Amino acid sequence: MTTTTQTPAALGFSMPTEWDTHAATWMGWPFNDDYWLGYLEVARQDFTQLIRTIADFESVIVTVADEEAEQDAKKRLGATANGLTNIRFRRFEIDDIWFRDSGPIFIRDAKNKLPLTDWGFNGWGNRFEWKKDTLVPKGIADELGAKRYEIPIIMEGGALEINSQGVLLTTKQCLLNKNRNPKLSQAQIEHYLKDYLGVKQFIWLERGLEGDRTDGHIDTITRFANDTTIITSVHEDKNDTNYAPMQENLEILKNARQPNGDLYNLVELPLPRKRMDVDGERLPMTYANFYIGNGFVVVPTYDDANDNEALQILQSNFPEHKVIGVNSTGLITGGGSFHCVTQQQPIGEVMGNG
């Protein structure tokens, strides 16, 4: 464990935004057919398209859990397949592939120094295996030779959405859930996020989507497009169980203030019209689980009537990025989509322990 008499924030470090330039994207490769409930093949097809899309714009580091996963990933992707020479493979022992939550969160200072933060991970409240996944940040730190700040509380990247002014979006359903940090108050959790990620202001929403096994991660419902624009999910059917919680969040956002006191520019993003269920459980289908990279935004689509509208809305709010829709009907069977399976490494000089 790295110890210091000063917190990262006190030393000038903070969490960069997702739209900051990336040095690489870290991902895992799906490998457990039991976990995927028989949908592993279609999930791998979606992963192949997702990784190829990202690799057109930036380096992708694909973590493989075992020999079968490594050979399958290399067969489908290949280090030089279709000229994608910026796909690299690393062997890590992992329980699963949701790197947004199990992976590290990088921080950076004004000198462009880049250490990482290592938060505890408990499989979204002990729902799934996690003892290998919680070691992923250490594995990446060792791989990069990076300084690692180990924080003694549970925290998941998918629960956090930040802009360059240090404003953090999150939900009470997740961060205040007793299956994460039962002994911590809201104020204590805020204190950790201020000290280690440089958060300056909080916007607390209430709930996420029905069927979200993460207990309401923010990255399935509400995202920043820039410092002054918030994109938030809504459902058009008043009889749908997602309608009321999305409206509740919308009302909170209508009253939220920027650091200068101005209101935010709010953009409503429709949820998919159709419903998908696996083993009687609703899947949290959403367009808000997009991933922002170097000049692109890759958006999950579902062969749904609202796909095109969602892509058009996002393109108008990311005018300097190429917005790309990629099928996620296989990947979503695992309970998440593109943002959930990616973790960006911002550009910067990796800071060692010396």
3-state secondary structure labels for all residues of 307-333? HHHHHHHHHHHCCCCEEEEEECCCHHH
Residue by residue, DSSP assigns 266-318 as EEEEEPPSS--EETTEE----SS--EEETTEEEEEE-S-TTHHHHHHHHHHH-
Contacts (Cβ under 8 Å, ≥6 apart) of 325: 298, 299, 300, 301, 307, 311
CA–centroid distance for 297 within its chain: 13
Q: Is 85:56 a contact under the CB 8 Å cutoff? A: no
Residue by residue, DSSP assigns 217-229 as -GGGTEEEEETTE
Vertex 73: Cα angle to 68 and 77 (nearest 5): 155
Q: Which of 9, 105, 199, 340 is catalytic?
A: 340
340 a catalytic residue: yes
Of 114, 112, 107, 197, which is closest to residue 159 (Cα–Cα)?
197
Name residue 151's amino acid: I
Ramachandran assignment for 216, one of left (phi > 0), alpha (psi -120 to 50 degrees), beta (any other) = left
Active site residues: 340
